[in-house]
Amino acid sequence: MQTKYVNAFLVNHARGDPALFIDLLGRSRAIMFDLGEVFRLERGELTRVSDLFISHTHMDHFFGFGTLLRANWGQDRVITLWGPPGLARNVFGALSAYTWNLASQTTLAFRVREAHPDHLSTTLFSSADAFAPGPTERLPHTGSVLLAEPEFTVTFARLDHKILCLAFCFTHADHLNVDKQRLAEAGLPEGPWIRDLKTMLAAGDPAEGATLRVAGVEMPAADLARRLVVRARGEKIAYVTDTIFSDATLAAVRDMAQESDALFCECAYAHADADRAAANHHLTAWQAGTMAAAARARDLRLFHFSPLYVGRESELTGEALSAFRRGGRGPKARNEPRPPTRRAPEPPASRAAESG
Ligand SMILES: [Zn+2]
Ligand SMILES: [Zn+2]
């Protein structure tokens, strides 16, 4: 999905490794949800990723770490990786694959933040120390917010994939724009005061008595805001992958992805293969569509198709969208979606290339 402010796209095709790139347009900054193979990204994209949120470290979700490292080597920056307990060990393992005796004029560091039930642990790996792990700090943490900045927030939910797997949701702050027509009708000129007004509003309602200088005249900020500013809801983008379908999953995704503009959701199997999906703790297309409908998402984007469906991708897409539309806001919204009937499982030989 793309707006004036955000461009969010899956790096690979639906059968490729999971990696969702969220570009904050015009701000030389991006974040990512998962880091599967990312050869398709340009170096300039990999060097503006500030924060990566890793659902779990099965290979298809973390294989791209080497590409990220290679692209950023020589840069003076800190990249933060967020994820489940154990992520720091995985990052250290990936960094330990190389020899770091060569001096660098720059310092590249990875800050790893693991979400534990009652705290965040933070460990820094810096090229200045040949990527040896620094001391691990423990920060108190509860609730669903991982990263909160004035511009955007990232929340998470815990899913069950035989191991812990995290789902993520990016929410941009509301967009504040001065209505040009109202500005003209008020007879006020454009100027730096507009930027100052937006900055003030981004922090909350203007303080009582706060003023802004407009064409040499001090004017009440609250009055300017009320007359001129239009507030538009910020983008909300949810990402759900590698989970069993259960009441707990449905509730967690519905709460996290509520009213999202786009829900990017795995759908490894057709519902006819629901037994296989359950055995591997993955979703069927029907289940993905049902979750998107429960969350009242505006759009559903699918990925993580099993290689079983080569050439049959449209079956998965059609099934998921059918469940999404039937469970959504249409005339059949109150009807419980009825999944298609199951068919016999495929022979075990065709499971060989399935990923985690
Ligand atoms: Zn996976
Ligand atoms: Zn997995």
What does the pLDDT read at residue 331?
Answer: 35
Q: What is the pTM of this model?
A: 0.88
Same domain for 44 and 147, yes or no, is: yes
210 and 255 fall within a common domain: no
In terms of domains, do 243 and 318 share one?
yes
Ligand nearest the Cα atom of residue 244: 2
Question: Cα(161) to centroid of ligand 1, in Å?
Answer: 9
60 carries an active-site annotation: yes
Nearest bound ligand to CA 281? 2
The yes-or-no verdict on residue 349 having pLDDT over 70 is: no
Give pLDDT tens digits for 239-266.
999 999 999 999 999 999 999 999 999 9
The H or E element that residue 217 is part of is strand 217-220
- Residue 288's domain spans which residues? 1-72+143-174+233-356
- What is the spatial distance between Cα 290 and Cα 277, in angstroms, rounded to a whole number? 15
> Which residue, among 319, 317, 309, 313, has the nearest Cα to 354 in the 3D structure?
309
Judged against a pLDDT cut of 80, whether residue 348 lies above it is answered with no
Residue type, 294: A
Shared domain check, 152 and 197: no
Residue 344 alpha carbon to ligand 1 centre in Å: 24
Q: Which of 191, 214, 232 is the last residue of a domain?
A: 232
Indicate which residue of 17, 34, 51, 60 is catalytic: 60
Q: Indicate if 318 and 203 belong to the same structural domain.
A: no
Position 159, amino acid: L
Residue 98 lies in a domain: no
List CB-based neighbours of ion ligand 2 within 5 Å: 58, 242, 356
145 phi and psi angles, rounded to 5 deg: -85, 125
Per-residue pLDDT for 233 more than 60? yes
Residue 267 pLDDT level (bands cut at 50, 70, 90): very high
Q: Given 196, 216, 232, which residue is the final one in a domain?
A: 232
Separation of 166 CA from ligand 1 center, angstroms? 12
Q: Which residues contact 128 (CB under 8 A, 6 or more apart)?
A: 107, 109
Output the average pLDDT for the chain.
91
> Distance between alpha carbon 2 and the CA centroid of its chain, in Å?
14
Report residue 342's pLDDT band, with 50, 70 and 90 as the boundaries: low
pLDDT attached to residue 346: 46
* 13-17, 21-25, 182-186, 330-334: the lowest-pLDDT one: 330-334
Same domain, 147 and 277: yes
The pair of structure tokens assigned to 98 is: 């190389």
Let me know if residue 107 belongs to a domain: no
Q: Are 63 and 157 contained in the same domain?
A: yes
Residue 46 has pLDDT above 80, yes or no: yes
Q: How far is the CA of 261 from the centre of ligand 2 (A)?
A: 25
39 pLDDT tier (thresholds 50, 70, 90) = very high
160 and 253 within one domain: yes
For residue range 234-245, what is the model confidence (pLDDT) as tens digits?
Answer: 999 999 999 999
109 domain-assigned: no
Residue 163 forms part of a structural domain: yes
Q: Is residue 206 part of a domain?
A: yes
| Of 213, 232, 251, the domain-final residue | 232
CB count within 10 Å of CB 61 equals: 24
The H-or-E segment that residue 161 falls in is: strand 152-161
How many independent structural domains does the chain possess?
2
Residue 78 lies in a domain: no
* Whether residue 326 has pLDDT greater than 60: yes
Same domain, 246 and 343: yes
pLDDT band at residue 347 using 50, 70 and 90 as cut-offs: very low
Helix (H, G, I), strand (E, B) or coil at 185: helix
Local structure of residue 220 (DSSP, 8 states): E
What is the per-residue pLDDT for 336?
Answer: 42
Q: Bridge-partner residues for 112, per DSSP?
A: 81, 123
Regarding whether 6 and 35 lie in a shared domain, the answer is yes
Q: Are residues 10 and 157 in the same domain?
A: yes
Say if residue 260 is in the same domain as residue 221.
Answer: no
Question: Which ligand has the shortest distance to the CA of 166?
Answer: 2
Q: What is the CATH number for 241? A: 3.60.15.10
Q: What is the pLDDT of residues 108-132, one digit of tens each?
A: 999 999 999 999 999 999 999 999 9
> Ligand 2 centre from 205 Cα, in Å?
44
- Assigned token pair, 152: 């955007």
26 lies in a domain? yes
Of all residues in the chain, the percent with pLDDT exceeding 70 is 92
Is residue 91 in a domain?
Answer: no
